[in-house]
Amino acid sequence: MQKLIIDGGVPLEGEILLHGAKNSALPILAGTLLCHGETILKNCPRLTDVFAACRILTHLGGRCAIQEHAVTVSVPELRSDTIPENLMQEMRSSIIFLGAVLGRAGTCHVSYPGGCELGPRPIDMHLEALRQMGAVFTISGGQLEAAAPKGLHGAEIHLPFPSVGATENVMLAAVLAKGRTTLHNAAREPEICDLAGFLRSCGANLSGDGEGTIVIEGVKVLHGCTYAIMPDRIAGITYLSAGAITGGTICLRGTSGEPMQNVLPVLRQAGCRIYEETDCVHLMAPRRLKAVPFLQTMPHPGFPTDVQAILMAMFSVADGVTVFEENIFENRYRHVDALVKMGAKIRVSGRIAVVRGVRFLSGASVTATDLRGGAAMVLAGLAAQGTTEIRQIAHIDRGYEAIEQTFQKLGASIRREN
């Protein structure tokens, strides 16, 4: 088991290159199953979740070659329609393969994805939408059998909630289905637009991505393509917030401010000076951050749930009180105990967390609970006085490429130990 050791209190200074988006790479890798021919994905992040997705593709009959940040995939024929339990358990979001395998093979067998540290991760909206497209599901003993006896067909679908995963599964199932699919109340996250851009590059006919309604006209075949994955806006906010919490100056290269437009105003309200250029975002932190009174997580274009933990760490040392309301996941305050152990003053009641900023945090020994909660602990450790040890950092490696090297480049005293 690996851990991170951080000697905090050093203002971070310097330039880092932002890696590609995990939450875009995963559905796009599932989409390569639908293509006849070779697909080359550029700017693909080197993350454990991406390697797990490549193992699923290989198990299904695909050929995956990873060179640095390029992944080349070809799936000349599907050798299996089954994603075994061990591979399903490795990555919570492997349910994203359901729509693609159904679209390619007409059947799919997966083990029912378990919940995760964020709470029960139901897939009722995924299944209901795919049923309307002609899929039939049998669930028994934790196994999910899916079949589309007459093939998948277009449908008029209304999602009860703009679920990112359900939107992606419908897109992947509809691009080769017979006829038109109209998806109402679709998720609008930038990663949805990136998946749509990839599918269009492969010859799909879809429009409306990024708005509330996506229209997809099924086509007969999709060809391979070369596609560059968008930068990771959540990792980008994480690195900028690390500059903010340590009172430093960061140049985040590899992205404009555009994908982070729903969070940069919050960093500015907190007193950070931020300059956006086409290929980088500069942040200069104030001497002391100012609290922002109220932040509620909402579907895009609202404040993203994935940055809630990260900004909670940052505001734990601000001047004033910040109230968070987590509206997307049931159980996304598991990082609070660790931050409190480091001296933060945070009280949680249901979906509300009240953060009363303190002058300093103190280093402590903590355990990462989930991907973004672990990142929050890293930020707290970078700002804290003294040494912080973070265990269970496999959570963090799912979504951040070599996180200790990134922060070492900015002058942090941080190392990985077995």
Q: Which is nearer to ligand EPZ, 25 or 280 (CB)?
A: 25
CB atoms within 10 A of CB 287: 6
Residue 303 burial (CB count, 10 A)? 23
C-beta closer to ligand EPZ: residue 5 or 298: 298
Question: To the nearest whole angstrom, how small is the minimum distance from the Cβ of residue 164 to ligand EPZ?
Answer: 4
Question: Smallest gap, in angstroms, from Cβ of residue 304 to ligand EPZ?
Answer: 6
- Of 15 and 330, which has the nearer Cβ to ligand EPZ? 330
Q: How far is the CB of 222 from ligand EPZ (least distance, A)?
A: 21
Contact call for residues 25 and 52 (beta carbons, < 8 A): no
Nearer to ligand EPZ, 167 or 246 (CB): 167
Nearest-CB residue to ligand EPZ? Answer: 165
* H or E segment and range at residue 205: strand 205-207
Q: CB–CB of 312/240 below 8 Å?
A: no
Active site residue 116: yes
Question: Is the preceding peptide bond at 304 cis, omega within 30 degrees of 0?
Answer: no
> Could you write out the three-class secondary structure of 210-243?
CCCCEEEECCCCEECCEEECCECHHHHHHHHHHH
Which candidate in 54, 108, 116, 202 is catalytic?
Answer: 116
Give the length of the chain.
418
CB of 168 to ligand EPZ, least distance (A): 7
Which of 404, 414, 370 minimizes the C-alpha distance to 16? 404
DSSP bridge partners of 5: 389, 415
The contacts of residue 97 (CB under 8 Å, 6+ apart) are 30, 33, 56, 60, 83, 108, 110
We find the least distance from the C-beta atom of residue 371 to ligand EPZ, in angstroms, to be 5
Nearer to ligand EPZ, 189 or 401 (CB): 189
Cα–Cα nearest to 29, from 83, 89, 74, 81: 74
Nearer to ligand EPZ by C-beta: 103 or 399? 399
CA 238 to CA 250: how far, in whole Å?
11
d(CA 41, CA 69): 8
> For residues 12 and 26, which CB has a smaller minimum distance to ligand EPZ in the complex?
26
C-alpha–C-alpha distance, residues 30 and 97, integer Å: 5
Residue of 32, 103, 23 lying closest to 62 (CA atoms) = 32
The residue ranges that bind ligand EPZ (CB under 6 A) are: 22-23, 26, 93, 121-126, 161, 163-166, 189, 305-306, 328-329, 371-372, 399
| Backbone torsion region of residue 271, taken as left when φ is above 0, otherwise alpha when ψ lies between -120 and 50, otherwise beta | left
Active site residue ranges: 116
